Amino acid sequence: MKHISTLLTLMLATALAFAAEPTAYVDDLVYTLDTEHRTAEVAANPKTSGEVIIPSQIKDGEGRTYTVTSLSAEAFKGCKGLTSIVLPPTIRQLYRSSIEGTGVYANKELWRDGALYIDSCLIAVDKNVSKPKYIVNEGTRVIAGGAFQGNKAVTNVVLPKSVSRIDVFTFRDCKNLQKVVFGRHITSIGRDAFTGSGIYLNEKKWKKGVLIIDSCLVAVSKEVPAKVTYKAPYRLIAEGAFAGSAVTNVELSPLVEILPAACFYECPSLVTVKLPAALREVGAFAFYRCPLLKDVKMPAGVQVIGAGAFYECAALPSMTLPDEVTAIGKAAFFGCKQFTAFPFPKALKQIGEGAFAGCIRLEAINLPAGLEEMGKQCFAGCATLQQIVIPEKITAVPEEAFIGCNHVYKVTLPENLYAIHNGAFKGCARLERIVIPDRTFAIGREAFSGCAMLEQVSLGEDLHMLDEGAFTGCPRIEQLVIPADVTAIGASAFAGCYGLRKIELPKKLQFIDREAFRDCRGLREIKLPKGLEKIGARAFAACKQLRKVELPMPVKLKEVGEEAFRDCEMLSSFQLALPDDCTVGKNAFKGCKE
């Protein structure tokens, strides 16, 4: 029997091509924020010293509250100056390495009977602990990942009912460990929790390539039969249990309620999985990169689909989720290239970042009316998607939500939409018309960049911000009315809009940024508002048909940037007298007739 290779670390930053989790800096500590679940993890704080009190909750810069539930593996590692630490009752996960190498860890007065406990959390058990049978203290609520790792003295471990999880690497390489006593109070087992232990190395413990401990399926060897039917009454599956195995067909125990994280991670031959009727949660990365997976029927009781659950399951033809599912995690169906349609659950409230990105055959989506939140890049690269109707409860179209959806020709936005964020519809080359609701305050950077077929644009009356490149490369737009409250037009906002013939600028406009109207070759004349203070570099460069620029008196213009009107070959009328304090940049009018 060959041992299962250690599962690759499941870090979202390396598994997905999406932005890193946001962070918060609170009371000299850095936290990583999970915006989806509103939880926070203490991130690496390598220079921490003295006394540290970790709160149960923190707030980010916008006042949103997050519950502190974990310490990262590097949280305080090596902080020799850390002399005291208080862990809140909300902590559910931490690691031996979180505190290893600190002054707290080195303080022998804190160790009792060969073990270090901090606020009812078992951090570590000494490798030379005198008692081979170790009974974890009653009332212990968390055992740190790797707490017993490498311990060669312990042979038996008894866990109290107060512990609910055996975390990653907890008993790894405990060569003499033969027995761990736990009951139904254990609800999850982390990856590699028993790898290399005496139990794991004992071939008699394995049955047909499967290791089951106390009715928990802990590991599957690579020699397990391709077709696996396990109706034995195991109730739990450890994280990553089947990862990398050669199984093709699997039927799981009817008692299993949670499919754990990375359960079938990168199983290259997996084709079908029969899930138990009792299942209520599919964990993060559960079927990550199972390229041949074709048949998975989701039981009616499932309520949670974790991040990356079906990431790049390229052969999966469809998926029907129960109507009770309220959230689809980040990148849950990323790269499911065979999807042509997806029936969204009626109760769905949240679609995570990149959830359907790369579903290149997805032609139609019917988003439920109760949807409240959409993550970044949620439908990015859905190249055959044709129509989009954003539900009324969505107040912002997120960054790059539909970037590269180059077959979309119709988009309907909700009346209460507040913002269209950066790159939201970038590259939607067939989009012909867009009506921005009156309540929309901001259009982000490159929001409609590269919408080559876009002809009609109606900007809502409450619009205040047109960011950089908002409509750059939209050559079919012929005329525009910029709303009254816009005070600045961002850099390259309309650059390359070759067909733009007429534009009405608002009276409150103060700043036209660099290259804002560069290469607007159809523009013949423009009336600048009298409150305008700055025209950026190359703002109207290469507007080859521009004949007339008018600015009413009195003039407030302070700056005309370099090459601002360069190569405006037809420009013969610039009807203003520039004030003495107005700076005119180099080659501002080079290539103009006058």
Strands 65-71 vs 57-59: parallel, antiparallel or unpaired: antiparallel
Enclosing domain of residue 310: 304-385
Q: Is residue 492 pLDDT above 50, yes or no?
A: yes
DSSP 199: H
Residue 7: pLDDT band with limits 50, 70, 90:
very low
Residue 314 lies in a domain: yes
146 backbone dihedrals φ, ψ, rounded to 5°: 80, 15
Q: What is the mean pLDDT of residues 195-201?
A: 95
**Number of domains, the chain:** 1
Helix (H) or strand (E) holding 552: none
Q: Is residue 564 pLDDT above 80, yes or no?
A: yes
Which domain CATH number covers 348? 3.80.10.10
Residue 20: pLDDT band with limits 50, 70, 90:
low
Read off the pLDDT of residues 514-537 as tens digits, 9 standing for 90 and up: 999 999 999 999 999 989 999 999
**Whole-angstrom distance, CA of residue 403 vs CA of residue 396:** 15
Residue 381 lies in a domain: yes
**Whole-angstrom distance, CA of residue 271 vs CA of residue 296:** 9
pTM of the predicted structure, to 2 decimals: 0.88
Q: Which two tokens stand for residue 111?
A: 């160790």
Query: For residues 449 and 473, is the Cβ–Cβ distance under 8 A?
Result: yes
Residue 332 lies in a domain: yes
- Residue 230's pLDDT is 60
Residue 232: pLDDT band with limits 50, 70, 90:
low
Read off the pLDDT of residues 43-68 as tens digits, 9 standing for 90 and up: 999 999 999 999 999 999 888 999 99
Query: For residues 140 and 161, is the Cβ–Cβ distance under 8 A?
Result: no
Q: Is residue 75 pLDDT above 50, yes or no?
A: yes
- Residue 577's pLDDT is 63
Q: Read out DSSP for 107-133?
A: -GGGEETTEEEETTEEEEE-TT-S-SE
Read off the pLDDT of residues 158-170 as tens digits, 9 standing for 90 and up: 999 999 999 999 9
Read off the pLDDT of residues 312-337 as tens digits, 9 standing for 90 and up: 999 999 999 999 999 999 999 999 99
**For 550, left (φ over 0), alpha (ψ -120 to 50), or beta?**
beta
249 backbone dihedrals φ, ψ, rounded to 5°: -135, 130
Residue 313 lies in a domain: yes
Residue 131: pLDDT band with limits 50, 70, 90:
confident
Residue 331 lies in a domain: yes
In this prediction, what percent of the chain has a pLDDT beyond 90?
Answer: 80
Residue 117 lies in a domain: no
Residue 357 lies in a domain: yes
Helix (H) or strand (E) holding 67: strand 65-71
**Whole-angstrom distance, CA of residue 111 vs CA of residue 502:** 78
Say which residues have a Cβ less than 8 Å from residue 222's Cβ, sequence separation at least 6: 2, 4, 244, 245, 246
Q: What is the mean pLDDT of residues 172-192?
A: 92
- Residue 413's pLDDT is 97
| Nearest-10 Cα torsion for 222, 227, 232, 233 | 80
Closest by CA position to 569, among listed 544, 538, 537: 544
Residue 271 lies in a domain: no
Q: Which two tokens stand for residue 39?
A: 């939880």
Q: Is residue 6 pLDDT above 80, yes or no?
A: no
Strands 121-125 vs 115-118: parallel, antiparallel or unpaired: antiparallel
* 3-state helix/strand/coil string of 84-112: EEECCCCCCECEHHHHCCCHHHHCHHHEE
